[in-house]
Amino acid sequence: MINQRNIERVAEILVRHPCCVALTGAGLSTPSGLPDFRSPGTGLWERIEKIPGGQSEVMTLQGFKEKPEAFYRHFHSFLEMIVSAKPNQAHIAVAKLEAGGYIQAIITMNGDMLHQKAGSQRVIEIHGTIGRAVCMSCYQYDQGEYHWQRYLENGKIPQCRRCGGVMKPDVILPGEQLPVQMVLTAKKLLRECDVIMAIGTSFSGGPVMNWIEKACEQRKKLLIINSNPTILDAVAEIAIRADVADVLPAIGEKLGIANYG
């Protein structure tokens, strides 16, 4: 059950501190039917690691370059889910909070495009996006949907319409650097904001956790909404452990934003 006092406190903070940035992780999209990465038994990487030639050999940049057919074979079912996924009530609530001026931008670790489908306008995709494909030969970008629909229909590895090279989803794989411009933008937003609302992320390590720790040292208010405890709960102003698809609409309703159907 959601603690209504915590909902009220979050709403009060958003009213008093209008410069809020949302940080979203895989837990925001699990209500849309997409697996997160590390949950026992259901996480995407855990399932892949159980397959011979799993993440360590295939789901990396080097693995893609060497065996793109193996990458797509393992990625096929997840790609099907992403293409058919629809925004859930949490995505819609975040978009409405942005439209209402309570959130200035969304920094997301998700590449599923569900924020945009929900109507969010300023989305910084620090782990890349399934919305684009990039050619591994000529490095030209192309619309992801064009290639994924055809791949799911005919099973053929997507090829560049310009040079015929293999197309890779423009998401960050192990072995790749985060996109520099997105990182710079994200860091600037975190440096200038008053409040960080972290949604659906467990802060499992990596540069993002370091960014948030630094922001907390600079006395930014951290609000955490996640179904499970996180390692930063102790430094958060408020940590709500509940379903994001219940919490975000409740916050919106407290602020006078409704209609999440």
**3-class SS of residue 178:** coil
Which among 140, 106, 145, 141 has a CA at the least distance from the CA of 126? 106
What is the spatial distance between Cα 135 and Cα 239, in angstroms, rounded to a whole number?
42
The domain spans of the chain are 1-33+87-127+177-261
What is the spatial distance between Cα 225 and Cα 94, in angstroms, rounded to a whole number?
12
Which CATH superfamily groups domain 1-33+87-127+177-261? TPP-binding domain (3.40.50.1220)
Q: State the catalytic residue, choosing from 74, 91, 127, 147.
A: 127
- Is residue 127 part of the annotated active site? The answer reads yes
What is the spatial distance between Cα 170 and Cα 181, in angstroms, rounded to a whole number?
14
pLDDT by residue, tens only, the chain of 261 residues: 789 999 999 999 999 998 999 999 999 999 999 987 555 454 555 555 555 554 557 889 999 999 999 999 989 999 999 999 999 999 999 999 999 999 999 999 999 999 999 999 999 999 999 999 999 999 999 999 999 999 999 999 999 999 999 999 999 998 899 999 999 999 999 999 999 999 999 998 789 999 999 999 999 999 999 999 999 999 999 999 999 999 999 999 999 986 655
Whole-model pTM: value is: 0.92
